Structure 1
Amino acid sequence: MMASYGLQTNIERRCRLPFRHGEVAVPSQIAEVVVRGRMSPELIAALDGFEVTTGADGLTRVVGSVPDQPRLLGLLAAFDDLHIEVVSVNFVDSTASASRPSPDAGDARRHPEQ
């Protein structure tokens, strides 16, 4: 069993790669990475700066600011290292991500009032 500290360190290391010589910074974009399945609370905590929601369809959406290509590639590499299947990567309008349903809304559809 992997300690949550190790997971946090691996995700941070993968997602916060420094610029390499010759790279040009581009304006930050909002990326949505859709993966199959649910994420553990430890993994969600390791994805600091990203909003994580799981829908009734069994897909998890990881949405957040991606300031450069190395950060996006680092996130995708971390998912690959953890054998998490990436379904799609989409760049979204920042106003569109604000209108998404909350994670509780998806859970309410799956779990009617008890």
Structure 2
Amino acid sequence: MKKYVIKLNGKAYEVEIEEVTGEAATSVVEKEAPVRTSAPVQNAGGQKIDAPMPGNIVNVAVKPGDVIKKGQLLVVLEAMKMENEIVSPVDGTVTAVSVAKGDSVNAGDALVQIA
């Protein structure tokens, strides 16, 4: 049995897949898994967006001073040969971008600050 976490329409699902051979049936168990997100920072700095996993930055779509909307693309993070879009959880203005294209990041590293 292998477990995967799949994100679909903003919700994360933990999926178990059982490998079967012949005419055996396949069973799939689906349940919501917790999604790790940055907690809002309630200070003058605003909302801090952190890397949810280690990987490489393949695109930075914003720069300081940009006015953004909730759901807007901020950064694309490649991890395990998958491109993960990091989007804004809030409306606001980008006050800092802590990464550049080609940077390697660890889980929890700061990516973008939004006021």
Higher percent of residues as helix: 1
Higher relative contact order (CA 8 A, sep 6+): 1
Larger Rg: 2
User: TM-score, normalized by length of structure 2?
Assistant: 0.24
Higher strand content, 1 or 2: 2
